[in-house]
Amino acid sequence: MNYEPRKTITKSKFYSVFNRHESIFYPYSINFYTFYIALAFYPVNFALQLNYQTTRMKISLRCTLLLCALTLLPASSVLASDAPVLDTGATAWMLTSTAFVLLMVPGLAMFYGGLVRSKNVLGTMMHSFSAMGVMTVLWVVCGYSMAFGPNVLGGWFGWSSDYFMLSGIDETIMAGGIPEYIFSMFQAKFAIITPALIAGAFAERVSFKGYCFFIALWGMLIYNPLCHWVWASDGFLFNLGARGAIDFAGGTVVHISAGVSGLVAALFLGGRKGHTHLQMRPNNLVMTLTGAGLLWVGWFGFNAGSSLSSGLSSAQALTVTQIAAAAGAMAWVIIEGIHRGKATALGFASGILAGLVAITPAAGVVKPGGALILGALATVICYLAIVMKNKLGYDDTLDAFGIHGIGGIVGAIFLVFFIRDSWMTEAATLAGGSWTVWQQLGVQATAVLIAVGYAALGTWIILFVLNKFIKIRSTDEAEMRGLDNHYHGERGYGMINPH
Amino acid sequence: MKFIVAIIRENQLDQVRVALIDAGVSRITVGNVSGHGRQTASEEIYRGQVVVPNLTANIRLEIAVNDDFVDKACNAIINATKANEDGLVGSGKIFILPLEEVIRLRTGERGSSAI
- H/E element holding B59? strand B56-65
Q: Quick one: pLDDT at residue A43?
A: 45
Q: Which residues contact A422 (CB under 8 A, 6 or more apart)?
A: none
Query: What angle (nearest 5°) sits at the alpha carbon of residue A468, between those of residues A399 and A402?
Result: 10
The larger pLDDT score, comparing residue A43 to residue B46, is at: B46
CA distance A338 to A347: 12
Is residue B58 classed as helix, strand or coil in its secondary structure? strand
Q: Which of B13, B30, B44 is the best residue to mutate to test the A interface, defined by the most A CB atoms within 10 Å of its own CB?
A: B44
Burial class (CB in 10 A: 0-12, 13-18, 19+), A317: buried
Phi, psi of A260 (to 5 degrees): -65, -45
DSSP state of A84: P
**Parallel/antiparallel/unpaired status of strands B44-46 and A157-158:** unpaired
State whether B34 and A278 contact (CB < 8 Å). no
Question: Mean per-residue pLDDT for A245-274?
Answer: 92
Work out the mean pLDDT of chain A and round it to a whole number.
Answer: 83
Instruction: Tell me how many residue pairs between chain A and chain B have CB atoms under 8 A apart.
Output: 39
A423 residue type, one letter: W
State whether A481 and B46 contact (CB < 8 Å). no
CA distance A56 to A241: 9
Res. A315 pLDDT band, cuts 50 70 90: very high
**How far, in Å, are A261, A383, A436 from residue A417 at the CA level?**
27, 22, 10
Q: Quick one: pLDDT at residue B87?
A: 59
Res. A280 pLDDT band, cuts 50 70 90: confident
Q: Quick one: pLDDT at residue A73?
A: 43
Residues of chain A above pLDDT 70, percent: 82
State whether B11 and A119 contact (CB < 8 Å). yes
Question: Mean per-residue pLDDT for A30-35?
Answer: 43
Q: Quick one: pLDDT at residue A425?
A: 87
Question: Mean per-residue pLDDT for A154-170?
Answer: 89
User: What residues in chain B have per-residue pLDDT under 50?
Assistant: none
Question: Mean per-residue pLDDT for A51-77?
Answer: 43
Q: Quick one: pLDDT at residue A466?
A: 95
Full-model pTM = 0.80
Residues of chain B with C-beta less than 8 angstroms from the C-beta of A278: 14, 18
Do A200 and A34 meet the contact criterion of CB atoms below 8 Å apart?
no
**How far, in Å, are B5, B60, B91, B94, B106 from residue B64 at the CA level?**
9, 13, 22, 13, 17
Q: Quick one: pLDDT at residue A373?
A: 95
| pLDDT(A59) > 70 | no
The larger pLDDT score, comparing residue A224 to residue A67, is at: A224
Q: Quick one: pLDDT at residue A81?
A: 55
Q: Which of B14, B20, B54, B91 is the best residue to mutate to test the A interface, defined by the most A CB atoms within 10 Å of its own CB?
A: B14
pLDDT digits (tens, 9 = 90+) for A456-468: 999 999 999 999 9
Burial class (CB in 10 A: 0-12, 13-18, 19+), A210: buried
Q: Quick one: pLDDT at residue B58?
A: 87
Q: Which of A476, A484, A485 is the best residue to mutate to test the B interface, defined by the most B CB atoms within 10 Å of its own CB?
A: A485
CA distance A271 to chain B (A): 16
CA distance B56 to B40: 9
CA distance A432 to A241: 12
| pLDDT(A42) > 80 | no
Residues 97-126 of A with CB under 8 A from B: 119
| pLDDT(A262) > 90 | yes
CA distance A467 to A489: 24
Res. A118 pLDDT band, cuts 50 70 90: confident
ipTM: 0.72
Burial class (CB in 10 A: 0-12, 13-18, 19+), A259: buried
| pLDDT(A28) > 50 | no
Q: Quick one: pLDDT at residue A495?
A: 54
State whether A491 and B12 contact (CB < 8 Å). no
Q: Given CB atoms, is A278 within the 8 Å cutoff of chain B?
A: yes
Selecting from A278, A477, A497 the residue whose C-beta is nearest the C-beta of B34 gives A497
User: DSSP letter string over A367-433?
Assistant: -HHHHHHHHHHHHHHHHHHHHHHHHHT---TT-IIIIIIHHHHHHHHHGGGGB-HHHHHHHHHHHTS
Res. A155 pLDDT band, cuts 50 70 90: confident
Res. A15 pLDDT band, cuts 50 70 90: very low
Q: Which residues contact B39 (CB under 8 A, 6 or more apart)?
A: B56, B88, B89, B90
CA distance A281 to A116: 7
Q: Quick one: pLDDT at residue A6?
A: 38
Question: Mean per-residue pLDDT for A320-339?
Answer: 95
